[in-house]
A and B are shown apart, each in its own frame.
Chain A
Amino acid sequence: DAGITQSPRHKVTETGTPVTLRCHQTENHRYMYWYRQDPGHGLRLIHYSYGVKDTDKGEVSDGYSVSRSKTEDFLLTLESATSSQTSVYFCAISGVHSYEQYFGPGTRLTVT
């Protein structure tokens, strides 16, 4: 398995609270991605990063922000969590010359 970890793996939080999810890689890959997976919608891209401090929006970026201060870490922040953000969140990485993505184990987030 590619060296990708996510933390926490499970989290329950209340509406209106801030939440930060962490993705850590040991592969030194340039590209990192955050997805959410929901029944009936499949995987949807939230934000991605193409280098340190270089990020861009994906298909469903509203309500989320990201930061990447080091190659190995990509943080996803929900500034004020809502119940619609209850989901499973996956981080993925890929190299410069390939579209092959390798996924982390996922974080199950429940917003009550």
Chain B
Amino acid sequence: EDKVVQSPLSLVVHEGDTVTLNCSYEVTNFRSLLWYKQEKKAPTFLFMLTSSGIEKKSGRLSSILDKKELFSILNITATQTGDSAIYLCAVATGNQFYFGTGTSLTVIP
């Protein structure tokens, strides 16, 4: 059975902290891993990772994939209150997508 597991389930940090969100997966026919941010509405796309060891970066957010150990991490540095959201990890296998249940991040001023 294909599955995607995210940890931690929730996280509360203070502004300025750095956080690391985890995503592990067990799937057949892995094609790509994706990260999304969801703020009480539709998920918005952050990153797509296909190759191991290549970091994707966008501002204070970065992500990397390890295809040997079957996991990815999403780092957020210098967190701001606007980073408060649920972060979703998904794995694409052919035309199917499997999502984790998400990590809920709360950033306190």
Contact = CB atoms under 8 A, between A and B. Distances in A.
Contacts of B102: 42
A29 to B, nearest CB: 13
A106 B42 contact: yes
A101 B45 CA distance: 7
B22 interface: no
A103 B95 contact: no
- In this complex, the member of B32, B34, B95, B101 whose beta carbon has the largest number of chain A beta carbons within 10 angstroms is B95
Contact of B31 (A45, A99, A103): A99
Contact of B99 (A31, A42, A104): A42
B71 interface: no
A12 interface: no
A49 B88 CA distance: 22
B32 to A, nearest CB: 4
A45 B96 contact: yes
Contact of A50 (B43, B95, B99, B100): B95
Given A99-B92, A101-B34, A59 B98 contact: yes
Nearest to B42: A103
A50 B98 CA distance: 17
Given A56-B95, A101-B34, A41 B45 contact: no
Contacts of B41: 105-106
Contacts of B97: 33, 43, 45, 99, 101
B90 interface: yes
Contact of B95 (A43, A48, A100, A106): A48
Nearest to A33: B97
A58 B96 contact: yes
Given A59-B96, A104-B42, 11 more contacts: A40-B101, A42-B100, A42-B101, A43-B43, A45-B97, A50-B95, A99-B32, A101-B45, A103-B42, A103-B43, A103-B44
Q: 9 closest Cβ contacts across the A-B interface?
A: A103-B42, A43-B99, A42-B101, A99-B92, A99-B32, A42-B99, A103-B43, A100-B45, A105-B42
